[in-house]
Each structure stands twice: as structure tokens, then as C-alpha cells.
Structure 1
Amino acid sequence: MSSLTERAEQAVGAPPAAPTPPAPPSAAVEPLPNIEIEGPGPDGPELVSAVVAWSRVMDDIRVIGKNEKYDAAGTRYNFRGVDRTVNAFAPVLRRHGVLVIPSKVETSHRDFKNSNNKIQRECTATITWTIYGPKGDSFPAQSAGEALDSADKGTAKAQSVALRVLLLTAAMVPTGDPDPDSTYAERGEAVVRTPVSYRDEILDLKTSSARIKQITQELVQLNLIHATVKNEFGEDETLHALSRRVYDERLGGGQ
């Protein structure tokens, strides 16, 4: 009997293979739209100054909505990703003969362990850009981006975020969100927050990393930053140390 047949007979009595565990949740992303913008034509873009060309880019980029959704690890929010932003800007920049070139990149890195004891690298990139117009003149701009990665992609991610920040900020791109003035809320008596209430909010899995940064600023203003509370392990810990530790854990977990 051949070895192939023997293995087949042994497999008959073998227990069924364990089911494949479900994939972890990831961000729900809509397909990028097709951008159809008429090119500059055979004669190229109109030879105007860099500032005028950029203002025309602003005029063409009317809105980039926050259509991408993140829903994982207990955190939900909408955002405008790098790909969606570049997908909207690239054809418009070409139409008006505008180049966006990084002329100086400054980065800083910090390594730490997340809650799973896995090494993460945080990268902050500050980039000086030169924006050229169709006549060859230019003006400078600067933006910064921050990213986390467990491999070797942190610097590239941070630079991509800095590009998104530059394009959205320099072009003053609307989000399409409701105007804050469209709602009215009558101000009532201010609620006095206690150190314990801040502790509970920091430890809540629904509290985003951005909110934790905001909490830290509130604690400084309220002179509660060094207040001591019982953490989730029943140990004494200052709110400053607790917020920083949880913030790092949330970033390390992709939140």
C-alpha cells in the first residue's frame, strides 16, 4: 500500500481540524471614488503665480467628507484617510500645474511596550514643503504627522499623515460636517469633576486617545494632574501617570 493511501486512511479517523478564528475587526473603508477632472490641455496650465494656482486648487476641492469609518477595539469614529485625500488632490494639482515637494524632513522616534508587551515605535515627522506653481515660483509650507508601527513603516506613515494635514489645512478643505452653530445648547451650572470621575473616564474603553489627551489638558487647568487615585489594579497612581499609560496602550492597540 502506498504511503499516500496510508495517509488517506489515517486521515479518515483524524479529528476535524479546529475552526479558523475570525479575523480581527478592521476599519470599514468605502471604495475610493473615481475623480474625473479635465486636464490642462496640450498647451499646459495657465502660467500664473504659485499662490494664484493654489487658490484655484482650493476652488476645485470643494469638500472631502469624513466617509471612512473606524470601528474596532471599542472605538468608533469617521475620518478622511491619506489615500482619499491624495486621490482628490492629485488630478487637480496636475490640472493647475502645481507641485508639492518635500524639501526638509525632521523625525523623532520613541519606543515603548504596549499592553500586550509588544514593542511599538512612535514616529513624529515635521516636514517643510515647497509648493511650486506653473511659472516656477514657489512658497513654503510646513506640517507634522504622527504614527505608530510595530515594524519599519512608522516613518513612512508619519510622512503620509503630514501630507494629508498639509493638503487639508493649506487648502482649507471643508469636512461636510454640520456647522457647530447649527445647534444651540443653553449653558447650565458647571459640573465639578472629581479625580475619580476622570479616572473612570480614562479607563473606559470607549474613551479615545484624542479624548485622553484632552483630559490631560483639563487636569492641568484644574490642578488635578498630580491627584492620586486607585487604578484598575487597586494601586495608587497619579492621574498624570494613569492618563499617559492608558494613552500609550490605546495607541499601541490601534486606537
Structure 2
Amino acid sequence: MTEKMILQQSAAVAVEDSRLSRTLSARLPVQNNDRRADETNFYINPANAPDMPAQLAAKRGMDIFGSFLGLLVLSPLMLLVAILIKLESKGPVFFRQLRTGINETPFEILKFRSMYTDLCDNSGVRQTIDNDPRITPLGRILRKTNLDELPQLLNVLIGDMSLVGPRPHVPDMLAAGRTYSDLVQGYEYRHLMRPGITGLAQARGLRGPTGHRWMAIRRIVCDVEYVRNFSLLLDIKIIIRTVVNELKGGTGL
């Protein structure tokens, strides 16, 4: 890469950083609490869990039906993926990892293993990067197509997760070199609902590595926005947009 290209990319990142800072600060009020705000922090006003028992019960019913149907329909594909994983490298078919669930209750998430067993990061604090040497050739395909996420239908069926909700993070997960809870004050409000296989952030195309702080902050803003505005209609819109994104690579909701 030439020096000119490097300078152009640096300038573009600086402009995007400034733009996102103004946009996000306008969307959710900042709490300074009589102290000077760190420019790398973002402060989210308190949010409450939705007081909608009928819709939450219907959401759980949709989760049970959807996950059971998904497991039934996708079982041949999941069996094929499991066989290919065993043929490619030594180790278990499933990757198990501790994640943070509703009300910060820990649970064990299931994914198809996409890394070499001896290089797996069970803590999950270290995020993957482009051309990550820990990922197997098959794993790259599974991650690109999101097939590695299919076993999470079991997590949905037993109640650890939902079809729609904030994506579950590992404890003390890092973004832009800092823990999310340090980067975003009010991060914990995303845990007021069950984590999901997909969510508002993913429906808007916010996926992949979070090496830049505003990319990470945008996701948390979307997560808390989902908690504030939960409805079954929003869940249905997120599911539809997620499917469209997978088929066409579109973004937005």
C-alpha cells in the first residue's frame, strides 16, 4: 500500500469517527455526572426491561416453535457440517463458550467449531482478525455463511437465547482494545433481554471485527435501542431483514 493510500484511509477514518460521534450523541443523551467525559467513552441513559408480559410470552412461543422447526429442517445440513469438521481436523464438532445472558446470567453457547482445537480461545476475549491463522479452511466458509451459528438453535430451544435479541458477548469482551463495559457506560442495559441469534445491530449490517471504537459503540446503541423499543413486529422485521442480508448482502432496517 502506498503512502498516499495510507493517508487517504487515515483521513477517511477520522471523518467517519467525527460523524459517528455527532450522530450517536444526538440519538442517545450523554450523562456526564459532573465529570469530564473521556472522548473515547459513550454514556447511555438508563433503560428498563419491557413491561409487556403478553408479547414476551408470545416471543418465547415463537422462539420454541422457530428453533424446533429450524433444527428439524436443517438437521441434514447440520449433520453434513459435523462430518466435514471431523474429517478436516482433530477435535470436537461443537465449540462451547461461556457467554453473558439475560440479567447477566452466564450460559454455555454452542457453535460449530471453526478453529483448530489447540488454537481455540475459550475465553473469547481475543477477537478474530482478517486471515486469522487460528481458523480452519472450512471454518472460514462456516463463518462467512454464518453456518457456524446453527447450533445456537439448541440454546434458543432450552431458553438461554432468543431468535432475536442483542448478540451474546463473552464476559469482559474487548472492543477497540477496551472492555465493552468501559467503552460504553450503560453497556449492561443490553442484558435486560435474552440474547439472540440475530439482533437490530446485525439487521443493520453491523457485523464483523470491532477494532474501531465507533463501530463497537454503534452496536451497543442498537442493542439498547432494541430493548427500549421491543415489540413482536420489530422482531419480525429484524428476522426478515436478516434473511435479506444473508441472501443479498443488504443493510438497513
TM-score, with length taken from structure 2: 0.23
Structure with greater proportional strand content: 1
User: Which structure carries more relative contact order (alpha carbon 8 Å, separation 6+)?
Assistant: 2
Which structure has the larger Rg over C-alpha atoms? 1
